[in-house]
Amino acid sequence: MDIGVLRRDGRTDPFFDGTARDELMIKRCEPCDRWFGPDATGCPGCGADELGWARACGDASLVTWTITHGRDPDDEPAFLALVELAEGPWLHARLDGVTGLREGLPLVARFVHPAEGEAYLLFSGTRRSPQ
Amino acid sequence: MGSGAAIAGLGMTELGRVYGSSPRRLAANAVRAAVADAGLTLEDLDGLLVSHGMGGSPSIELAETLGLRDLRLLSLMSAFGATAGAMVAHAAMSIMNGAATTVACVFADAPLQPKQSAGSAYHRNAKEYYGFGGMTAALGFRSINAFYALAAQRHMARYGTTSEQLGAIAVSTRQWASMNPLAQLRDPITLADHQNSRWVAEPLHLLDCCLVSNGAIAVIVTSADRARDLARPPVHVLGWGQGHPGHRKERGSEFGLTTGALASGPIAMKMAGVTVDDIDVCQLYDCYTYTVLVTLEDYGFCAKGEGGAFAATGALAPGGALPTNTGGGQLSAYYMWGMTPLSEAVVQARGAGGDRQVARNDVILVSGNGGILDHHSSLILSPHAPSSQGA
Ligand SMILES: [Zn+2]
């Protein structure tokens, strides 16, 4: 799939440091023992406005999904989803090769390293069905 | 205090693929039209509330554009699709506590450009993407359709809601639109048309999605006492409420399952002294068919999870038990954020609906919805003043 070229924005760079080494880095408030998505800017629990980055295990489950279709019939449909990380946060994500979509379907993070731009994240089923 | 507040004027510019006027000029024209509709002049205004929009919408400098002087109330308000309801509530409170007497509330937007598809007005497309948010867009989250599709799909998976049930809302809304000369889409559609319309973001077909429109709508809110002496029958503002659930993006979230209508509806109905059984007609924010379905559930017109079955009974259609979106809504008439349901509510309360006028208009429920089901406003409107309200 061609998703364009990803660049860093200076605020979420540790996320892309993570994808480069096949790790999913998300935000975490240590005092509250709470995890947040990579774009979280603070902890609503304690008011901390600086959250640390921590590695998520990459396991997730499917919350809900959509298949988007471009106006051009030649555009390939995109399987998009909300996934719940094992640590609790939800991510808007893209699925790759996932069949039998249902609430709670186990997923695992997978990393893509394009020739140009930052590495990114997809979610696949935990047991890949044979082609 | 005493007599409460009422909507005394409604002004609408040409709506739809209307080009050549800036949102500020559209807004000014809508306010002028609303003032004239009420039988007032601009000099009578001592309050102006301006809604934000997609881009280029005016802020409080609109007062200067209109030449308004000595205002007692002037604000830009922003709660996305809930703004219209929030503006009317703010105006009503300001009037009832004596801070202002006559307040214009206006929304204007012009997201459509000539030779541009409706979808692209609310659509992002770029070759380079920046940061984590950029990654989300790059992966395919480039339009608000995808986010609402996630919500609708979750409702379907949890409660068994079907695309055909969503289609029933598209069909009934178009039935109403066919009787509204101002509606952008007036040709009747069938359930098969809905099912055969192209996918936008599964489970949403094209006919599950609202229009995009340019234009402006304004209302004039004043005291009920004053409204009685003006040109139009007063539309009394009996109750209002808001709900901002703050669904978190984390485990346990009710995203897609419940909305701010759950909190907003009971507040507004209690204030108005009515229950859900008293509502004669609904004007619900219908950015998507699914939004109507989940809002009906949260207001309590049916049990949670049964919105689809309820819609499929035909209750929302002309002749149905709960006439809903009687002007054709945002799906078929015009997309002016929360001003779409509000404007039709005013028309119905006045008995000015022509071929689409409902027989019973004593209690009208108006909803607003903003963000991805993040913000909600409710209004209870009536042709009757609170004291003359039948129990
Ligand atoms: Zn904390």
The CATH number covering residue A118 comes to: 2.40.50.840
Question: Which domain, by its residues, includes A52?
Answer: 13-124
CB B51 within 8 A of CB B79: no
Rounded CA gap, B86 and B359, in Å?
28
Q: How confident is the model at residue B122 (pLDDT cuts 50, 70, 90)?
A: low
Mind listing the pLDDT tens digit for each residue in B73-97? 999 999 999 999 999 999 999 999 9
Backbone angles phi, psi at A87, to 5 degrees: -80, -10
Minimal C-alpha gap between B152 and chain A (Å)? 9
Average pLDDT over residues B260-289: 98
pLDDT, tens only, B281-340: 999 999 999 999 999 999 999 999 999 999 999 999 999 999 999 999 999 999 999 999
CB burial of residue B146 (10 Å; 0-12, 13-18, 19+): buried
Whether A80 and chain B come into contact, CB under 8 Å, resolves to yes
CA A89 to centroid of ligand 1, rounded, Å: 14
Note whether A78 contacts B249, CB cutoff 8 Å: no
What is residue B391's predicted lDDT score, i.e. its pLDDT? Answer: 42
B299 is catalytic: no
Tokens of B377: 């406003």
User: Do the chains contact at A68 and B146, CB–CB below 8 Å?
Assistant: yes
Q: With pLDDT > 90 as the criterion, what percentage of chain B qualifies?
A: 91
- Name the phi and psi angles at B111, rounded to 5: -75, -20
> Residue A81 domain-assigned?
yes
On whether any CB of chain B is under 8 Å from the CB of A61, the answer is: no
Tell me what the mean pLDDT of segment B265-286 comes to.
98
Specify the 3-state DSSP secondary structure of B172. helix
Q: Which of A62, A68, A83 to mutate to test the interface with B (most CBs of B within 10 A)?
A: A68
- Residue A30, chain B, CB below 8 Å: the answer is no
B5-112+212-382 CATH, one of 3.40.50.720, 3.20.20.70, 3.90.1200.10, 3.40.47.10: 3.40.47.10
The answer to whether the CB of B15 falls within 8 A of the CB of B213 is yes
Give the distance (Å) from ligand 1 centre to CA of residue B79: 27
Asked if A127 is an interface residue toward chain B (Cβ–Cβ < 8 A), one would say: no
- List chain B residues with CB under 8 Å of A37: 132, 249
Partners of A122 in beta bridges: A110
Expressed in angstroms, the distance from the first to the final Cα of chain A is: 18
**For chain B, domain boundaries:** 5-112+212-382
The model's confidence at residue B2, banded by pLDDT at 50, 70 and 90, is low
Lowest mean pLDDT among B81-90, B113-122, B133-142: B113-122
Query: Could you tell me if residue A47 is inside a domain?
Result: yes
- Which residue does chain B place closest to A3, by CA atoms? B138
Give the long-range contacts of residues B92-100, CB within 8 A, separation 24 or more: B92/B4, B92/B5, B92/B221, B92/B237, B92/B240, B93/B5, B94/B47, B95/B5, B95/B221, B95/B222, B95/B223, B96/B1, B96/B4, B96/B5, B96/B223, B97/B1, B98/B1, B99/B72, B99/B73, B100/B46, B100/B47, B100/B71, B100/B72, B100/B73
Answer for the pair B217, B106: CB distance below 8 angstroms, yes or no: yes
What's the mean pLDDT when you consider all of chain B? 95
pLDDT, mean of residues B28-42: 98
A71 at interface of B, judged by CB pairs closer than 8 A: yes
Q: Do A37 and B249 touch (CB under 8 A)?
A: yes
User: B153 vs A65: CB contact, 8 Å cut-off?
Assistant: yes
The reported pLDDT for the residue numbered A130 is: 41
Burial class (CB in 10 A: 0-12, 13-18, 19+), B97: exposed
Set of chain A residues whose Cβ sits within 8 Å of the Cβ of B151: 64
Query: In the block, which residue shows the tokens 């394009």?
Result: A114
Residues of A with Cβ-Cβ distance to B140 under 8 angstroms: 3, 68, 78, 80, 94
Smallest Cα distance from B62 to chain A, Å: 34
Query: Of B132, B202, B253, which has the smallest distance from its Cβ to A15's Cβ?
Result: B132
Q: Can you spell out the DSSP letters for B331-381?
A: III--BTBHHHHHHHHHHHTT--GGG--S--SSEEEEEEETTTTEEEEEEE
Q: How far is CA B279 from the centre of its chain?
A: 17
Q: Which member of B148, B288, B299, B335 is catalytic?
A: B335
Tally of structural domains, chain A: 1
Rounded distance from Cα A50 to ligand 1 centre (Å) = 9
What residues of chain B lie within 8 A of the CB of A103, using their CB? 154, 157-158
Supply φ then ψ for residue B114, to 5 degrees: -55, 145
pLDDT band at B68 (very low <50, low <70, confident <90, very high): very high
Instruction: Give the integer Cα–Cα distance in Å for A19 and A15.
Output: 6
Which residues of chain A register pLDDT less than 70? 128-131
Residues facing residue B382 across a β-bridge: B236
Closest-CA distance, B163 to chain A, in angstroms, reads 13
* Average pLDDT value for residue range B176-195: 98
**Are A16 and A8 a contacting pair, CB within 8 Å?**
yes
Task: Choose, from B285, B288, B290, B334, the residue flagged as catalytic.
Answer: B285
Q: Given A4, A9, A38, which is nearest B127 (Cβ)?
A: A4
B335 is catalytic: yes
**Which residue from B130, B202, B251 is facing A84, i.e. has the nearest CB?**
B251
pLDDT at B172 over 50: yes
> Does residue A64 belong to any structural domain of this protein?
yes
pLDDT at A74: 73
pLDDT at B3: 78
Within-domain flag for A29 = yes
The reply to whether residue B130 touches residue A7, judged by beta carbons under 8 angstroms, is yes
| A38 CB-near residues (< 8 Å, 6+ apart) | A12, A15, A25, A26, A27, A91, B132
Q: List the shell of residues around ion ligand 1, using CB closer than 5 Å.
A: A 29, 32, 43, 45-46, 48
Look up residue B380 and give its amino acid: I
Closest A-chain CA to B134: A6
Tokens of A80: 């998009």
Q: Sort out which chain A residues have CB atoms less than 8 A from B129's CB and list them.
A: 3-7
Rounded to the nearest 10 degrees, what angle do helices B289-299 and B163-177 cross at? 100
Minimal CA separation from A37 to chain B, in Å = 8
Question: Nearest-CA distance from A68 to chain B in Å?
Answer: 4
Residue A68: which of B127, B128, B201 has the nearest Cβ?
A: B201
Of all residues in chain A, the one with the smallest CA distance to B142 is: A68
pLDDT value at residue B71: 98
Tokens of B218: 């304004």
Confidence band for B126, pLDDT divided at 50, 70 and 90: low
Give the type of residue at B323. Answer: P
Alpha helices by DSSP H, listed for B81-130, are 83-96
